[in-house]
Structure 1
Amino acid sequence: MRNRRKRQSNRIFPLKVDELKRIMESKFENNPDLIFSIYEQENKRVAVFFIGYMVEVEMAENYLLKPLLSMQKEWSKKSVLNEIPLGGSDTKDKLEDILHKIMIGEVFVYVEGEDAVVSYLLSKKEKRNLQQAESESLVLGPKVAFTESIVTNLNIVRYGIRSTDLVLEKLEVGKRAPREVRIIYLKSIANDTDINTMRQRLQDLEVDEIDDASVLMQYIEDSSSTIFPQFYLTELPDRFTYSVIKGKIGVLVENSPDAFIAPTSFFSFFESTEDLYMRWNAGTFLRILRFIAIFVAVLLTPAYVAATTFHYEVIPTQELITIGESRAAVPFPPIYEVLVLEFFIELLREAGARLPTKIGQTIGIVGGVVIGTAAVQAGITSNFLVVLVALSALASFTIPNYLMSTSVRIIRFPMIILAGTLGMVGMMFGICFLIIHLLKLKSLGRPYLAPIYPFRWEDFNKVLYRLPMQRQYKRFASYHPKDLIRFRKRKAVKKKDIDE
């Protein structure tokens, strides 16, 4: 009953045009771009109002104002709708709807005495041209990236998935500055539970505004306390469409050049769409290489600290002599030596990312060489450790996803501290803690470590290695898609010569 009274109180029509002008000017008191024009026809008055910089003014004049002023019929809500059949026309009778829609580029026509205004969507779309992806670089495959225009992004997705099953569900998120959000999935494949979960989380979200898809993703993730991303953030349309076809759910946000995908497995962050564009043998090799790289990135420098601090017996004698000679001039314990050098590497990486591209590359290369050489000569670190830290940094670069790469870089620091205080026991404690933590995580309610937990052997070829295309006839069973079969295995492997 209270909600009904509130909705009724928001209805302000019918009223005089002068009163409507007073209301709109009071709402946009400090906004000189509000255009409010009043026209008269015999005994009828009509108001046309909009925000100037949000509207294609030339289109409004040619296709709305001229037909309106040249109408032979008496002005009314019905006659305006019939005589000016522009796309995107609608009627609104609530002040809050008018205030919201005028800020996204709608033009309003109000005939004095009517019970609603007529609105036309004539918004001006500011967008940049399609460009090559920057944060996710590829050698093979499409290289175009999403833009800030959700219309352009939807067109790209539609072009990539030409199916009547494709659903582009529209929502608005944000109270004070609403933004359009699209839930995208294939209704014949995506799991209904996942769709409902995503829809509910977005509808239940009560925030003032959403700045970007990455911000929205953080609001609706299963766990906000973990360092690991639970949804896959991407700027690549081919990655997005590939995941949707597999049965996952994609989300696009207005004014965001990124999209995110859910549910997502931990192993998906080490998978690149480039693996699909090359031979399955090479794709498998690169995928395994990335999994090895994460162990190198997380454990290499902590293992050095643990071995040189507590466990000399695990180092071969010849190597121990080399390490001893290299560290002879270093006055600091191994843990301080490693932390200082890792800190230098992170500073270089962050400086290179924030500076312009050409300058950033120069800073990264020259800075690494200069600081590494100077640190060794100054006795801050050893030659041997410089090589290990460089290998660890290179290993973290092989992770295709920037958010996961950042998580791995951060994890390395507590692992170094554990190794420097408790040795190999501390390292094992850290590894066990990570495994337990990952086992507890979920992505849109699905296990984060699928298909290892719960164990599904038939899904291993989707995440850990690749099979030939003819043998990839099933979708990812761990997420329970409606249609598990991509194609019939017998027909895929059946080959005929042209003369048969």
Structure 2
Amino acid sequence: MKVSWKNKKDFASKQNINKESHDHVLSENLQVNGTTIKKLFDGAMDFTFREIEINNIYHAMIIYLDGLVDLEKIELHVIHPLMKDDKLNNLGSKLTIEQILALLSSADVKQGYTFQEVIDQILIGSVVVLVNGIDKAIFISEQSWEQRSVSEPLSEAVVMGPREGFTENIKTNVSMVRRRLKTTKLKLESMQIGKLSKTEVIITYLENIAQHSIVEEVRTRLGQIDIDAIEDSGYIVEFIEDNPASVFPQVLQTERPDRVVGNLLEGRVGIMVDNSPFALIVPVTCFQTMNSPEDYYGRFVMASFVRLIRYLFLMIALMFPAIYIAVTTFHQELLPTNLLFSVAASREKVPFPAVVEALLMEITFEALREAGLRLPRPIGSTVSIVGALVIGQAAVEAGIVSAPLVIVVATTGIASFMFPNYPLTGAIRLLRFFMIFLAATLGFYGILLGVFFILVHLVKLRSFGVPYLSPVSPFNLNNMKDILIRVPWWMMNQRPEQTGKRNIRRLGVRKRKY
């Protein structure tokens, strides 16, 4: 059997490959190749093959998976040229791979040499052409399947700014990033993760800005993932985080291409996963999770004001129920006299202590929130809102909970909806219960102790080696321009030092003063 190798390596070493990998080379005998491939796909109802004759002399076989290919394009670009093209009359007695490639009109045509390559190409939706007498396979990219069109991101909606979000098609996602960065410095590295799914994962970064150490660390962590299948980018998050046990997100998940581009320009690395509309950004800091994409599209004064409100309600979402429990249980003297009498009167008929009362309301609120998410969208929001109103009013009238606590829980719930990052919202919701238990046992001392433990944890936390609380800890005054407030664009002339120090300056000298 004549064997032709792509890399011209030794034939004997190639034949020693594990038989289970199907990595043996193709034969010149079409019947042998076809029988082997048919056995591998035995039982797959979508497996399709068609035998044709080229120039009524050379036997060939076309193989593909129905549902992953465009049948009209196959007829136009593959079958018609091979069977009815005028160039067929010029073929000699010995058919070569170059002559076949000259007949095909498809734009994306590749060659393969092993059964494993044939299998991989069939599974990703390519059309495979095998010809008798040729020990190579031709792969023609004619993929076509149903996919969601580009639409506005649901998890990161904005009033001002771009309206397009990522889809489940990784090629579409790459094109949206490429349209925004028209430079050869934008690098895209592809790899496959998942022994069965072979999911395509793309690492993207700007070569002249991103630090080589961070890019290499991303490659290493992704390369160490050994799993059967990757169904979404969320699968990858827990594998690449520095501290998977932490409740705080150490990887930024976004479905906005403009947000990915903004972070690439600051020296970070993007990770896009096929079949997932959410891209990953690393490294990430705590303050990034509190920033909304809309902060950069409006005026800096309003953006700064909204950010400060956001941080205020972060404290409310975390500690408001705990403060209520601490005051009503241990520190009543902190309340004004009239308010103290009002709270005491409202709690007079309540049979439970404040902590039990708070836990009942918080758990009920969490259940209503989850029900609103899982129910069909037209009725989900209605059920959650009406349910909260009805249950809250009924609970107060029945004397199960007090009216002030209903106000506290409702305010806390509204505060938790203000965060632009959903994983951060989940972290605050969990820590709220932690703070409630501390307040119920130690009062304000417990709250201070809880805040201390959270701050110590955040200081120790890292995201791909970058301190989670940077640039506050370690402190960097120059990088504070985009933390609690956002200064005007003409003042943000430098990239964050933790990720963009290779090319720190991103804004030219301002020549005009206003």
Q: Per-residue displacement from partner, 1:216-242 (whole Å, max 9, x unpaired)?
A: 222211121111111111112221221
Number of residue pairs aligned between Structure 1 and Structure 2: 494
Q: Equivalent residue of 2:323, what SS?
A: helix
| Number of the residue aligned with 2:111 | 91
For 1:56-103, what per-residue CA distance to the aligned partner results, in whole angstroms no more than 9, with x for missing partners? 111111111111124231433222123325222111122222112101
Q: Secondary structure at the match of 2:174?
A: helix
Query: Pairwise mapping of residues 64-463 of structure 1 onto structure 2 (< 5 A)?
Result: 64-70=78-84, 71-72=88-89, 73=91, 74-463=94-483
Deviation of residue 169 (structure 1)?
1.8
CA contact (8 A) 2:53 2:83 kept: no
Question: Contact 1:470–1:489 at 8 Å: present in 2 too?
Answer: no
What is the CA distance between 1:6 and its match in structure 2? 4.7
Paired letter, 1:102: I
SS in 2 for 1:261: strand
Distance 1:162 1:53, change over 3 A: same
Structure 1 range deviating more: 217-226 or 368-377: 217-226
Aligned to 2:44: 31
Instruction: Give 1:29 shift.
Output: 1.2
Is the contact between residue 77 and residue 105 of structure 2 (CA under 8 Å) also seen in structure 1?
Answer: no
Q: 1:23 to 1:268 in 2, by over 3 A?
A: same
Alignment partner, residue 498 of structure 1: none
Q: Is residue 17 of structure 1 aligned with residue 30 of structure 2?
A: yes
CA distance in 1 between counterparts of 2:68 and 2:421 reads 36
1:459–1:478 contact (8 Å) kept in structure 2:
no
SS in 2 for 1:346: helix
Partner Cα distance (1:462, 1:171) in 2: 34
Q: Shift of the alpha carbon at 1:193?
A: 1.2
**Structure 2 CA distance, aligned partners of 1:113 and 1:40?**
13
Determine the C-alpha separation between the residues in 1 that align with 2:509 and 2:72: 57
- Cα drift, residue 404 of structure 1: 0.7
Q: Is 1:45 aligned to 2:65, yes or no? A: no
For residue 33 of structure 1, what is the amino acid of its counterpart? D
Q: CA deviation at 1:339?
A: 0.3
For 2:128, the aligned partner's letter is F
User: What is the one-letter code of the residue matched to 1:39?
Assistant: I
Give me the whole-angstrom Cα distance separating, in 2, the residues matched to 1:215 and 1:490.
45
Q: 1:60 aligned to 2:80?
A: no
Aligned-residue offset at 1:206: 1.5
TM-score, normalised by the number of residues in structure 1: 0.94
SS of residue in 1 equivalent to 2:164: coil
Indicate the SS of the match to 1:90.
Answer: strand
- Give the Å deviation of 1:357: 2.3
Gaps of 5+ in 2: 1-9
The letter for the 2-side match of 1:25 is K
- Name the amino acid aligned to 2:252: Y
The TM-score with structure 2 as length reference comes to 0.92
Which amino acid is 1:50 matched to? Answer: Y
Q: Judge conservation of contact 1:309–1:420 (CA < 8 Å) in 2.
A: yes
Cα 1:6/1:347, change in 2 over 3 Å: farther
Larger mean CA deviation between 337-346 and 70-79 belongs to 70-79
For residue 409 of structure 1, report the CA deviation from its aligned partner.
0.9
Segment of structure 1 superposing worse, 333-342 or 177-186? 177-186
- One-letter amino acid matched to 1:21: G
Residues 64 and 84, structure 1, Cα contact 8 Å, conserved in 2: yes
Checking the alignment, whether the CA contact within 8 Å between 1:302 and 1:419 is kept in structure 2 is yes
* One-letter amino acid of the structure 2 residue matched with residue 387 of structure 1: I
Query: What's the % identity of the aligned pairs?
Result: 34
- CA-based RMSD: 1.9
Alpha-carbon separation, structure 2, partners of 1:125 and 1:172: 20
Q: Offset of 1:309 from its aligned partner?
A: 1.5
**TM-aligned CA deviation for residue 5 of structure 1:** 5.6
Helix, strand or coil at the partner of 1:233: strand
